Amino acid sequence: MQLSSRPFGTTGDGTPVELYTLANAAGMEADIATYGGALVRLTAPDREGDMADVVLGYDTLDGYLNDCCCFGRLVGRVANRIGGARLVLDGREYALDRNNGRHHLHGGAGGFHSRVWRADPLETEAGPALVLTFESRDGDQGYPGNLAVSAVYTLAQDGLRLDFSAAADRPTAVNLTAHPYFNLSGRPGTDCLGHVLTIPARRCLETDGDLIPTGCLSEVAGTPLDFMAGVAIGARIRQDSVPLANGHGYDHCYVLDGRAGMKPAASVVEPVSGRGLEVLTTQPCVQFYSGNHIPEGLPGKGGAVYGARSGLCLEPQGFVDAPAHAAFSDITLRPGEAYRQTILYRFFVK
């Protein structure tokens, strides 16, 4: 089995954290911490075959314990924002943790990104895998019901696959995703504005000044939010645009056009190195975030110093704030139902 582990420190309450390394025959490696299920390191080749780490993060657990960016971590119960931190299910209202002004973000301050998951290594036909599991109790961050969650990382020959599953004993809301920040250049600390991004989506969710969806879908054609044909991230990021002003750059949820099941969500190429990344998913949307709020001068891995737009996020997920909008796809999980979603990060060279 091409999988090893080592201690990665302890949390404030003394809980030990492990760091697992998955490796494949192509020379790629992925380091995954049990704290937050964080993807700490992921290597991929450039057009010369040279490997480099392509995700932002920290060398030690302390970095993650003090992190404000959610670098590389698993997000839940509900990714993104819930307006007013107010969840209504079957006519009953639940008050969620307010950790983003008056709103709820990424499952709350004590969400899945800040918990220690149980880890079990697994050998599969596709490659080495790590099964992470977590039990979220009734009332956790305000959510109803006990929720059992599984996240399986599998390192295949051409990339990393992430399979989510969950089951609940009461109706609750579930919308899981992962939050890695990618920089494909192999030069950590540089910005990602030269990366060329393609998102095959004609529409995105219209949001207000707090980035809470209004319930309307906006056509992206003719706007700085249009990535249908492939555009450098920095080409239009400073244009005069209300959506860009609200997000301080890109922080928008795109509605994917296509069939159910696995489908392309986005692809990105770093022209100098030739590294490319294709993101596929079973989810109906993808959030594109251009790393606008990474603190300037933030110490990162290997002596790198991060700043705004040092990395980009492509977060497949369900519709944002879905319980508040009847027209959006439902994210309610009921007893007896199985939640299953997949994200595939597939690398290529160009």
Q: Which residues are catalytic?
A: 179, 315
Using alpha carbons, select from 77, 74, 75 the residue that is nearest to residue 146: 77
| Cβ-contact 46, 275 below 8 angstroms | yes
Q: Which stretch of DSSP H or E encloses residue 149?
A: strand 147-155
Distance separating alpha carbons of residues 237 and 240, to the nearest angstrom: 9
Report d(CA 256, CA 101) in Å as an integer.
Answer: 29
Terminal alpha carbon distance of the chain: 31
| Phi-psi group of 85: left, alpha or beta (phi > 0 → left; psi -120 to 50 → alpha; rest → beta) | left
Q: Which residue has the tokens 């933030």?
A: 298
**Cβ atoms 315, 287 nearer than 8 A:** yes
Structure token pair of residue 126: 């596709």
SS3 64: helix
Contact 17, 37 (CB under 8 A): no
Number of residues in the chain = 350
**Which residue, among 68, 10, 58, has the nearest Cα to 34 in the 3D structure?**
10
d(CA 137, CA 144): 8
Q: How many CA atoms lie within 13 A of 265 on its CB side?
A: 27
Helix (H) / strand (E) element for 87: namely strand 86-89
Q: How many alpha carbons lie under 13 Å from residue 197 in its C-beta half-sphere?
A: 31
